[in-house]
Structure 1
């Protein structure tokens, strides 16, 4: 069967050298997990199987592939639950460590804020359940929302080894899996609900990204900026050919196969960086919102969390325009980003001019989403760079970036930002996917003219394409929030190209950059006693891998 060949290809991308398991529900709804040796017959014997390899100490990554058999007679919600269960069961130790590193002390400084935040999430979950009750059977959007929540339920149950399957969505808002998935949405809630100490001011989920045209190729790359404690990473592939609707004979979703860089316990990428079987690549960099008046639109009964909307769009969209339209529904106004969507189906390697729709950009703020086909701009400049500042004037003004420019200078100026200048200056050095990976790892802050600032010392390691804010002087003086000594670095880089994408592969490296700066070693860092890092290797010096 062609189907089996497709699934085998998905598995072979990882290489079956670790733990392989399959799962089914047997009599009286008992969950049964079997150790397996992957072969054709195995794929037809179980509804859901998975392969997991933990090489964090060898490569900086762990690897997870989950797939379901499209011929199974189980409904989508059961498949989603079982896929989640296997993930939670096989990666439970990493989830525990990542939770302790990312969250354990978060509420200590402001428990009152956490109470308000959890109430917000409880109200939002009730809002989603009300919509699911009315719309999940008729609206493909809400059917996919239900599957995301079912998969999260499965991850949580798998973590704790629950042995009986009970249909339905059972989300514990205080549970580890839910908390890990909503951390990114907390950035906006810290401002909306007035947390005493804003985590984002200490360095939180900003990124660098580039789409680059070179002769005969289109290269797409992303570097995640995140806390040092959050470097436990999983490269994931989900092959889950859900139906577009809950009806048994509905066609399969376009985005059956999603590959992404991710973290333990997460249902989405969070970086975000996705390769999708529709021919789309999707990535983003986070946008700050300095306009307090816009917070009035962030209400728990007014939308769906960003990470859920992202996965729904990834599964249902067929091009950049439809991705933007689907994602724009039910904008809650949290975790605001600039998304970049490239449609490799529309790229022709031997043509100088490409058809419209190849490259879309979407930017979100509370009560506002602007999305536009930016193919002509990409081809005019030969590149698109993204560095946490809105491109569209309407978004830039609404988020009140002009006030921050007046207060902090060019750090928040779209054209004068240090990374904007570095990308513009150095994008000519990119000629293939490996050279783009090098650019995304770039940090030569003591010698780069665009890393200079009105600071003491007069430069910042946080003002480069790949931040290493840990190298800044803890006693130094810096002229803008986020450019001094903070708990943040570019903790990875991953790229794909036209040819790599045809093989559904990315080229990725884990850990902070060490090209022109000292490598990050926990035992040598003053951060070692300041932030938990359970499960981490000591020295983060790894080579790129293919996945």
Structure 2
């Protein structure tokens, strides 16, 4: 551990852990340090003093969920700190856990309170926990052996440090010791692993799956106008996920501890959730010049699930952030993400390189847009810049683009059973984006497009159903609006625990300021706003800390 050089006179101003959470939350802006006995200490700091303070990690937190639908968190490390990266990562996790403890506990209850209920569910959870424990033991040993020489494993190790710090903060541990202590049955780990868990439900034989047939996550659009380059995303996810945090991490980590060079992606802004150290959505704005997002591709091939093993892989929740930090361009993002493929949380990732874009240029772009698709045992990626420029857009809507991925994931069999809904070019959202992408010409109009749902009138929302349309068949899903007494050919077209619970966008101008424009909550354009009190599933779903009515305006972050 590095020498802890601390100005003794400043210790008089420390606020020790006996300071209550409510007092800290009221001021919202704190720094963290360690005393000589490794005790964790805090200091409230005025914003104007942040740049001149000597503390290694600081944070700003504001809970605006009832006013805007979002909490806001900014955590950063000081580049001139005498602490090593491992200590900084731990303290970054700790300060986030300490400031957002109440939200973390509520979000955990919302997602996990009922998940393992029942004998069969409890048996599956034990199998999943065993998988997580074996996987964690594997990656911890790899990080110990290689983090001093391999940038990949150095970043993996820092994520483990961050997870350790956050878990120990919510459990009120008041001192720091070096080393990994990731608790794979603790709240922080299980919150971060929840989306990887969805593929483990099939791989480890969960009796009742969390997702209905046809249920998928997210819509995304990259829009090239010549004068602007826009990227946006909405998250199709369970209503229980709607406790949201906009996060900005400024972590001046080195590529390896002995290096003088910091990682290209030292600053990452993202839409996220309490207790989670990546986005999940995913939507990232990165200081390297990259904007990254994705939509999930379901894996419907039972044979490929046999390739999912706890050893020799790194879960997607970690690999995503490693790639975000290390990548300099779309190709290197794909190459970093490809390493130690877990085959869980399989997505089509979209990487836009804003450093390559010149407004108004007619050049033949290369490396402006890369697409990456993952399945167990497979990673396919390529430069799709020419298609983006030719068509003016790239749309993503939970159906693989690359034929190899499409085949591995079992989509041809779904076409036989359910028809064009599973054909890449004929899916309802494919048709909607093809028809409507020109309506997105700046960041506000893109956000509006990503909120689109006019299911009773739009022909693309028609289905072999009674009534003959579905609120799940639009750019912004509203699964709560479907008829609970209706008849639906595909289960996900009926009443389900899912909606497009947000939208986030950026443009060339906003990206230059590392900003996004974001709205929280299900769409209320052309449809009634979402209210828990009106939802037929409200008594079945835990939703602690949620407002009842979700009608919020967009914010800049």
Per the normalisation by structure 2, the TM-score is 0.94
How far 1:353 moved relative to its partner?
A: 2.8
Gap regions ≥5 residues in structure 1: 1-15
Per the alignment, residue 241 of structure 1 pairs with 252
2:405 matched residue in structure 1 = 395
Which deviates more, 388-397 or 17-26? 17-26
Q: Deviations over 1:105-154 (max 9, x none)?
A: 10114111111000001110111122112211111100000000100111
Gap runs ≥5 in structure 2: 1-24
2:522 to 487, 512, 525: 512
The 1-side partners of 2:272 and 2:200 are apart by 22
Q: 1:520 to 1:202 in 2, by over 3 A?
A: farther
1: CA distance, partners of 2:140 / 2:214: 33
| Alignment correspondent of 1:326 | 336
> Contact 2:73 / 2:248 at 8 angstroms: preserved in 1?
yes
Q: What pairs with 1:276-291 in structure 2 (closer than 5 Å)?
A: 276-291=286-301
Structure 1 residues 88 and 41, CA, compared in 2 at 3 Å: closer, same or farther? closer
Candidates 105, 112, 115, aligned match of 1:106: 115
CA deviation vs aligned residue, 1:283-317 (integer Å, no higher than 9, x gap): 00001011111111100012100010000010010
Aligned pair partner of 2:541 in 525, 531, 542: 531
Whole-Å Cα distance in 2 between the matches of residues 369 and 158 of structure 1? 36
Question: Which region of structure 1 is more displaced relative to structure 2, 121-130 or 50-59?
Answer: 121-130
Match of 1:307 among 313, 317, 327: 317
Per-residue CA deviations over 1:48-94 (Å, capped at 9, x if unaligned) read: 00000000000000000001110011000000000000000000000
Question: Does the CA-based 8 Å contact 2:216-2:398 persist in structure 1?
Answer: no
Structure 1 residue 521 displacement after superposition = 1.0
CA distance, structure 1, for counterparts of residue 480 and residue 148 of structure 2: 50
Report the alpha carbon displacement of residue 204 of structure 1 after superposing the two structures with TM: 6.5
The answer to whether the 8 A contact 1:204-1:225 is kept is no
Q: Distance in 2 between matches of 1:188 and 1:302?
A: 17
- Partner in structure 1 of residue 82 of structure 2: 73
Deviation at 1:43, TM superposition (A): 4.2
Partner of 1:26: 35
Instruction: Provide the aligned length of Structure 1 versus Structure 2.
Output: 531
Match of 2:273 among 259, 263, 267: 263
Alpha-carbon distance in 2 for matches of 1:254, 1:354: 26
Q: 1:525, 1:121 → 2: CA distance? A: 34
Q: Superposed, which structure 2 residues align to 1:361-400 within 5 Å?
A: 361-400=371-410
CA distance in structure 1 between the aligned counterparts of 2:492 and 2:416, rounded to whole angstroms: 16
RMSD, aligned CA: 1.3
* 1:403-436 C-alpha deviation (Å, 9 max, x unpaired): 0011112221101111111111111211111111
Instruction: For 1:114 and 1:204, locate their aligned partners in 2 and report how far apart those are by CA, in whole Å.
Output: 22
Q: Give a deviation string over 1:440-467, Cα, whole Å, max 9, x none.
A: 0000000010100101111000000000
Alignment TM-score, normalising by the size of structure 1: 0.95
Q: Write out per-residue CA displacement over residues 462-488 of structure 1, whole angstroms, 9 at most, x where no aligned residue.
A: 000000010001121111131211000
Query: 1:221·1:494 contact (CA, 8 Å) conserved in 2?
Result: yes
How far did residue 42 of structure 1 move? 5.6
Deviation at 1:398, TM superposition (A): 0.9
Distance 1:151 1:139, change over 3 A: same
